[in-house]
């Protein structure tokens, strides 16, 4: 599947603020959550609805609703947590799991140290959250961990990505649809996205 890139003017505006090195921790965190909300709108365009009857202040009517219990979100720690609030603002009853990965600075490959998911997650559509797709290693590890426990419907939301990482995911997991707000140029010699937005985790939590 080709990645779906959001091109709405508001998305571009918010992304420009996010990238700016002068944007503070509070602003960075808030914008990341807002962009996650916009990505979630796009990722749920194909969501099934069920028929129900409601009563407005004027009359009874037939309406359609989303079964929020059908969804689970899996942020990749720690940076992925910045996107959870934006998701839960619009799907508050969705389940949330967590996967902890850290990158070996020499090999650039991920090592998993934590994996906790809601009961029955294999029957849900699972949407992985991570601000950046760089080498694609963490994304592929998270996807494979879900497939290993029987999850069949997986989507991936990222703020930015690069061709190298996208190609790896498409090669190893061609069934996973990716949504992002930008496909950047490339990775530098240290494995950082160019032009990117810096280290998302550090900027979210003010650790640098």
Active site residues: 103, 107, 199, 202
Determine the angle formed by the axes of helices 25-43 and 9-19, rounding to 10 degrees: 150
Supply 162's token pair.
């690069």
Residue 189: alpha-carbon gap to chain centroid: 25
C-alpha span between 108 and 26 (Å, rounded): 29
Q: How far is CA 150 from CA 44, 45, 54, 117, 136, in A?
A: 21, 24, 36, 12, 21
Under 8 Å between Cβ of 28 and 121 = no
Burial tier of 58 (Cβ tally within 10 Å: 0-12, 13-18, 19+) = exposed
Q: Residue 8 has which token pair?
A: 């709405």
Cα three-residue angle 74-151-105, rounded to 5 degrees: 50
How far is Cα 168 from Cα 154, in angstroms, rounded to an integer?
Answer: 16
């Amino acid at each position: 599947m080709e990645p779906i890139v959001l091109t709405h003017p508001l998305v571009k505006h918010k992304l420009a603020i996010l990238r700016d090195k002068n944007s503070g921790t509070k602003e960075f965190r808030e914008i990341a959550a807002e962009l996650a909300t916009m990505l979630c709108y796009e990722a749920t365009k194909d969501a099934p609805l069920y028929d129900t009857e409601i009563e407005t202040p004027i009359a009874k009517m037939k309406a359609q609703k989303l079964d929020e219990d059908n969804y689970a979100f899996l942020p990749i720690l720690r940076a992925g947590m910045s996107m959870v609030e934006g998701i839960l603002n619009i799907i508050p009853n969705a389940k949330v799991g967590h996967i902890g990965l850290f990158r070996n600075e020499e090999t650039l490959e991920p090592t998993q140290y934590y994996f906790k998911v809601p009961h029955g997650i294999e029957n849900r559509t699972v949407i992985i959250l991570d601000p950046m797709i760089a080498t694609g290693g963490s994304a592929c590890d998270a996807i494979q961990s879900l497939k290993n426990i029987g999850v069949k419907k997986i989507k991936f939301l990222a703020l930015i990505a690069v061709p190298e990482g996208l190609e790896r995911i498409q090669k190893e997991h061609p069934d996973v649809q990716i949504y992002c707000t930008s496909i950047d140029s490339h990775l530098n010699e240290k494995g950082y996205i160019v032009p990117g937005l810096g280290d998302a985790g550090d900027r979210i939590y003010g650790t640098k």
